[in-house]
């Protein structure tokens, strides 16, 4: 079974600065997807960014980018120019690319990000 | 922009009672999911549903739980006899042809007293 680990329960950053959230995962599969979801106080889960394991290029979405290290099974999220609205719980998630493995998302424990003005 | 909706936003029930949580997935999506999040814990997969049947379920999804798509729009989660430990946030999600992208609803907070 796949596992996802986020070792930083809490992180803080100054507004306009850059912060990196860490995530590691364990899998025996070669093809999969990785995600970062944001959960603000409203508790809605919002997809931030997605990475396909077969792609070597790191995904980027505006101020959000990832550092995907497949051999190390590491998937960190970098938030540049942090804004007050970025304050939220961030979850790393894994999904197999194989239909026979199902399409469930496996989540990490989450990292609570505080943005200080 | 289409979105997943869930009702009610908050449900309070007595232990042993049945509850039905409702979801309206995005209209052209074919894959549906339920997840739950106990306060302060990670989000956990419960069940996935495709082509009018369960395609996958977790060990959490025991005989007390059932899912149904009673019409072309709603997707429901029923808990037959609620326990205190069922208190959690329940999220519905749906996915379309881009199966890797699941869209989540705002959640239903279930409180079992």
At A101, the pLDDT band (50, 70, 90 cuts) reads low
Q: pLDDT tens-digit profile of A2-33?
A: 899 999 999 999 999 999 999 999 999 989 99
Q: pLDDT tens-digit profile of A44-69?
A: 889 999 999 999 899 999 999 999 99
Give A11-69 as a 3 state SS string.
EEEECCCCEEECCEEECCCCCEEEEEEEECCCCCCEEEEEEECCCCCCCEECCEEEEEE
A100 pLDDT above the threshold of 80 = no
The whole-chain average pLDDT of chain B stands at: 93
Q: How far apart are CA A56 and CA A7, in angstroms?
A: 24
Return the percent helix, strand and coil in chain B, to nearest 5: 5, 50, 45
More confident residue, B43 or B101: B43
* Mean pLDDT of all residues in A70-88: 97
Q: What is the pLDDT of residue A13?
A: 97
CB contact under 8 A, B101 and A47: yes
Question: Token pair for residue B62?
Answer: 């025991």
Strand pairing class (A111-116; B88-95): unpaired
List, as ranges, residues 36-95 from A with C-beta within 8 Å of B.
37, 42-47, 50, 52, 91, 93, 95
CB contact under 8 A, B56 and A102: yes
Q: To 10 degrees, the CA torsion angle through B99, B101, B64, B85?
A: 160
Q: To 10 degrees, the CA torsion angle through B61, B65, B70, B72?
A: -30
Q: Which residue of A has its CA nearest to B39?
A: A43
B52 pLDDT above the threshold of 80 = yes
Q: How far apart are CA B65 and CA B19, in angstroms?
A: 10
* Mean pLDDT of all residues in B9-24: 97
């Amino acid at each position: 079974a796949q596992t996802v680990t986020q070792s930083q329960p809490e992180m803080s950053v100054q507004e306009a600065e850059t912060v990196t959230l860490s995530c590691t995962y364990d899998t025996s599969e070669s093809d999969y997807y990785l995600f970062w979801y944001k959960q603000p106080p409203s508790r809605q889960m919002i997809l931030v960014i997605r990475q396909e394991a077969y792609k070597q290029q790191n995904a980027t979405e505006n101020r959000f980018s990832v550092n995907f290290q497949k051999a190390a099974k590491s998937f960190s999220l970098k938030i540049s120019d942090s804004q007050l609205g970025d304050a939220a719980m961030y979850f790393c998630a894994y999904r197999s690319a194989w239909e026979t493995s199902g399409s469930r998302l496996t989540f990490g424990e989450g990292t609570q990000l505080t943005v200080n003005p | 922009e289409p979105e997943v909706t869930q009702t009610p936003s908050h449900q309070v029930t007595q232990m042993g009672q049945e509850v039905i949580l409702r979801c309206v997935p995005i209209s052209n999506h074919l894959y549906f999911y339920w997840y739950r999040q106990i306060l302060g814990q990670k989000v956990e997969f419960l069940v996935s549903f495709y082509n009018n049947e369960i395609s996958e379920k977790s060990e959490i999804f025991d005989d007390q739980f059932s899912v149904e798509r009673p019409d072309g729009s709603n997707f429901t989660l029923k808990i037959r006899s609620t326990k205190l430990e069922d208190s959690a946030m329940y999220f519905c999600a749906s996915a379309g042809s881009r199966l890797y992208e699941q869209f989540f609803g705002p959640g239903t907070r279930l409180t079992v007293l």
